[in-house]
């Protein structure tokens, strides 16, 4: 595995691109919604959200597993706020990530320690948050908010 991630995009039609991320896998597709594209793939904003949400979910899972905890299944939802900057250009103004673990938080050992540090190990969200606020919430299977502390 390469230590430097890369992708290759090949235009299919208009704004639809095949995105090759692994030579042994079929591509995933990116596209814009109408009127530019045909919505035959995720938008660039959705890919950014997926990257941030996936990395945060991985970081939380890794941190919990270090303490031999099993939080599965994890379900994560991410959304963003889009608005215009001073030059009237559309920009992502904030990202919101909600992670739900599949067990009650009360059954997890060292949960406070994990929640205090898991974000620091997320390469993608830590990088993105230098320019875009990333707001993270963690809830458990009983819908109790675990992070940030209520």
User: 25 with 48, same domain?
Assistant: no
Helix (H, G, I), strand (E, B) or coil at 37: coil
3-state DSSP helix/strand/coil % of the chain, to nearest 5: 30, 30, 40
Q: Residue 81, by phi and psi: left (phi above 0), alpha (psi -120 to 50) or beta?
A: beta
pLDDT at 3 exceeding the cut of 90? no
Provide the domain count of the chain. Answer: 2
Q: Whole-angstrom Cα distance, residue 35 to residue 115?
A: 42
Predicted confidence (pLDDT) per residue in 61-111, tens digit: 999 999 999 999 999 999 999 999 999 999 999 999 999 999 999 999 999
Say what the pTM is: 0.93
Q: Based on the domain organization, do 126 and 69 belong to the same domain?
A: yes
Whether residue 52 is found in the same domain as residue 5: no
Structural domain that includes position 2? 1-42
């Amino acid at each position: 595995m390469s230590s430097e991630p890369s992708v290759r995009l090949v235009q299919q039609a208009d704004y639809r691109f095949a995105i090759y991320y692994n030579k042994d896998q079929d591509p995933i597709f990116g596209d814009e919604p109408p009127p530019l594209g045909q919505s035959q793939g995720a938008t660039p904003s959705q890919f950014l959200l997926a990257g941030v949400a996936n990395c945060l979910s991985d970081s939380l899972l890794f941190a919990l597993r270090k303490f031999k905890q099993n939080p599965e299944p994890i379900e994560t939802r991410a959304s963003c706020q889009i608005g215009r900057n001073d030059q009237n250009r559309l920009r992502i103004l904030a990202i919101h990530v909600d992670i739900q673990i599949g067990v009650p938080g009360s059954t997890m050992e060292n949960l406070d320690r994990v929640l205090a540090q898991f974000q620091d190990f997320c390469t993608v969200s830590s990088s993105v948050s230098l320019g875009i606020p990333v707001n993270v919430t963690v809830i458990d299977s009983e819908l109790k908010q675990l992070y940030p502390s209520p």
